[in-house]
Amino acid sequence: MPDIKPKSMPGTRPKPRYERRANHILDNYYIGQHPDPNHLSIWGYTDAMSYTAGDRLQLHVSTSADDWQLSICRDHLTPEVVYQQAGIPGAFYHCPEDASVNGCGWPVALTLQVDPAWQSGVYVITFTGFRGEKSVTEHHMFVVRPSQNTAAKALLLCATGTWLAYNCWGGSSAYEGITGEQGDQFSPYLSWQRPWTRGFCKLPKGAPRAVAQHPPTDGEMVRYPYMEWAYAYGYSKKYASAGWASYERHFIHWAEQQGMQIDVATLHDLHADARLLDAYQCVISVGHDEYWSAAMRHGLDKWIESGGNLARFAGNYMWQVRIENAQQVCFKYLAKEQDPVQDQFMSGAWDEPAIAWPGAHTIGANALQGIYANVGRCAVGSCYHVYQPEHWVFTGCDLQVGEAFAPHAGIYGYEVDGLQVNWQHGTPVPSGLDGADRKIQILAMGPASNVEDDQQVWGETCYLGDSDAQWLLSSDARGAGASMEDVATGNGVMLHWRRGQGQVFNAATCEWVMGLTRKDSQVEQVTLNVLQRFMS
């Protein structure tokens, strides 16, 4: 798509208001460089999200420290430090007010060459700045793509589209921000020439998840432990929604414990060259995987139809993005009114009439038939219930029809994908009305909601209310003439689909990885069943 950016669009000219930024810092969605060089700080970013052997890697660093050091570690089951350097003189550069939109623009502080010995994976950079006896530490990360002679049979695609959308470093994400006429809006344009927000690269053990361990009891105010923890310890409140540390890292560590060799790349690598998939029998997506471009989808679709196997342990397949230079573009809920592109490349929900490409065409399920579960007061206490226990996916799980699947593992939510269903002999089957192939097998299903249950608890504010449902009605994404009753509720579906010469398994929930880290036997068994079959 051509570079189209009207001068007056929101997100292009944020107002320079430090007093507003200070309030955002207290909100814990504004994470960024302190503007005062007397305040000890260090931040850095790489010139690209991924590299391969022999590539030049450029580091951009701004610090108020006298000197600083860095360490680069392959952050897999067996951590491996691959590079260290100390005693680098500090240099402080002011951060532009529009850094989240147009990038920081800091000069190159250090240039490295990616060593061919560096294995494919995610590499975390630790920056530490020193001033006298004081020090400060922050983190960044990058991916090393596999070499052409890889021995791995599976490739994990990091959900970098979602990482970018939730990255609040510099003030604006796809959810909140300092852009717009009043300096208080999200930005449809987001740059990756900036650091990752605090909590995306590294987290302390035990950081709370978006799905709470204990649902609220009657009359009790609903809690958001992850936001409370983020506020208390200075992390972004978006850490539980995206990033290596919350999702992909857990999966890779578990897979390596099972003796599996899995290469790593990014969704943006798939956008640039779909031939990346050709070397693999299985492609894996994990966690919160919400934002994709048309090129990403086309590449994956062709690969599956030709015999590839998609193992999706992720949820919320919702938005189309465009990639323009070093920016990701998504107008989301405002696309129909404000996106300058109004054809099939409009940056809105896949189900919207202008795009008309339901997610079910690729992954077998749609975000707008599901979404919220076990967050706030949406579908509280829900889990998957099994409808096809005899399917090979459940081999070794000892399940019965209607039995709850991994009910104590906390895997269901916080966002899920679902389908319109009919019922045949007590079993859900795809209706096909939402674009789903009727050959899809629904293995398990649970309830979801687009409207939050308001129990009128004193002092409580609804997290979501009915805003998503109201947008669904205005967008016609669930069909012209839909009523509030039609859009208020949905479902999540675990499914298997033979598509062309390939196959799709879709767990269709963000928190599947928690079943692995908590060693739930059913979650581990299903994951093994899928990967062993898809990689053989």
Q: Which domain holds residue 411?
A: 273-535
When pLDDT is averaged across residues 402-430 and rounded to a whole number, the result is 97
Smallest CA-to-CA distance from 351 within 333, 378, 339 is with 333
Residue 282 lies in a domain: yes
Residue 214 pLDDT more than 90?
no
Domain boundary residue, one of 104, 122, 148: 148
Q: Is 352 within the bounds of a domain?
A: yes
Domain-located, residue 164 = no
Asked whether residue 279 falls in the same domain as residue 135, the answer is no
Residues 456 and 317 in one domain: yes
Give the model's pLDDT for residue 1.
36
**Predicted pLDDT of residue 195:** 98
- Establish if 204 belongs to a structural domain: no
Q: What is the CATH number of the domain that holds 91?
A: 2.60.40.1930
| Separation in Å, CA 21 to CA 16, 25, 164, 171, 530 | 9, 6, 20, 7, 46
Q: What are phi and psi of 6, to 5 degrees?
A: -60, 145
| Average pLDDT of every residue of the chain | 92
pLDDT at site 27: 57
Helix locations, 80-120, DSSP H = 99-102
Residue 483 lies in a domain: yes
What would the pLDDT profile of 4-14 be if each residue is shown by its tens digit? 333 333 333 33
- As a whole number, mean pLDDT of residues 39-51 equals 98
Question: Among 103, 129, 148, where does a domain finish?
Answer: 148
Residue 5 lies in a domain: no
3-state helix, strand, coil split of the chain in percent (to 5) is 20, 30, 50
Please tell me the distance from the alpha carbon of residue 352 to that of residue 368, in angstroms, as a whole number: 10
User: Is residue 513, in this structure, part of any structural domain at all?
Assistant: yes
Structure pTM?
0.94
Q: Which tens digits make up the pLDDT trace of 111-138?
A: 999 999 999 999 999 999 999 999 999 9
Q: Where is the domain boundary, 86, 120, 148?
A: 148
Task: Find the helix or strand (DSSP H, E) in which 85 lies.
Answer: strand 80-89
Q: Is 198 within a domain? A: no
Domain count of the fold of the chain = 2
pLDDT digits (tens, 9 = 90+) for 356-386: 999 999 999 999 999 999 999 999 999 999 9
Distances (CA, A) of 353 to 111, 188, 360, 438: 46, 20, 15, 21
